[in-house]
Amino acid sequence: MSASVAALHGLTVRRGAARTPRVRRITTRAVEEPKESTADETKAVSGGLPPGIKTTPAPDVDRTQITGDWRTGKIWRPPPGTPKFRVDLGKGTVEIVDEEEERRKYARMRAMNAAAAAGKAGIEDADANPAALVPERQIKLRDNGNVVIAAMTEEDCVDATKLIMALFFKVRPQDFLAKDRLQKEQSERVYQGLVDGVANGKDRLLIAAKVGGKVVGVAEVSLPGGKRFGAEKIEPKAPEDWPYISDVAVAPNQGKRGIGRQLVRACESAMCAKGLRKMYTHTKVDNEAAQALFERAGYVEPAEVKASLTQMQIAQRGTKGGPLAKLGLVEVGHVLLAKELDPAEY
Question: Tens of pLDDT along 101-157?
Answer: 777 777 777 776 766 665 555 555 556 688 999 999 999 998 889 999 999 999 999
Looking at residues 27-42, what average pLDDT do you find?
51
Q: Is 121 helix (H, G, I), strand (E, B) or coil?
A: helix
Tell me what pLDDT residue 333 has.
85
Establish if 192 belongs to a structural domain: yes
Measured CA to CA, the distance from residue 248 to residue 162 in angstroms comes to 14
- Asked, as a colleague might, if the bond just before 236 is cis with ω within 30 of 0, I would say yes
Task: Determine the residue type at 113.
Answer: N
Residue type, 213: G
Structural domain contains residue 27: no
Q: Answer whether residue 98 is part of any domain.
A: no
Phi first, then psi: what are they for 201, rounded to 5°? -70, 110
| Domain assignment of residue 323, yes or no | yes
Q: Are 218 and 207 in contact (CB under 8 A)?
A: yes
Q: Could you tell me if residue 296 is inside a domain?
A: yes
Is the predicted pLDDT of residue 80 greater than 90, yes or no?
A: no
* Residue bearing the bigger pLDDT, 82 or 279: 279
The better pLDDT of the pair 39, 312 is held by 312
- CA 38/CA 275 separation, integer angstroms: 60
- CATH at 278: 3.40.630.30
What are the residue ranges of helices labelled H in 276-344?
A: 288-296, 303-307, 311-319, 322-326
Cα distance from N-terminal residue to C-terminal residue, the chain? 102
Segment 306-323, tens digit of pLDDT = 999 888 888 777 766 566
Helix residue ranges, H only, the chain: 3-8, 39-46, 99-118, 120-126, 157-168, 179-200, 259-273, 288-296, 303-307, 311-319, 322-326
Q: Per the structure, how many domains does the chain have?
A: 1
Residue 341 within a domain? yes
Note the pLDDT tens digit of each residue in 211-263: 999 999 999 999 998 888 888 889 899 999 999 999 999 999 999 999 999 99
Tell me what pLDDT residue 240 has. Answer: 92
Distances in Å between the Cα of 60 and the Cα atoms of 75, 80, 99, 166, 295 are 16, 15, 23, 70, 50
226 domain residue, yes or no: yes
Position 66 scores a pLDDT of 47
* Average of per-residue pLDDT across 52-66: 53
**Residue 177 within a domain:** yes
pLDDT tens-digit series, residues 265-280: 999 999 999 999 999 9
Round the average pLDDT of the chain to a whole number and report it. Answer: 79
CB contact at 8 A, 76 and 70: yes
Q: Domain limits at 166?
A: 119-345
Is residue 242 a contact partner of residue 280, using CB atoms and an 8 Å limit?
yes
State the pLDDT confidence band at 81, using cuts at 50, 70 and 90: confident
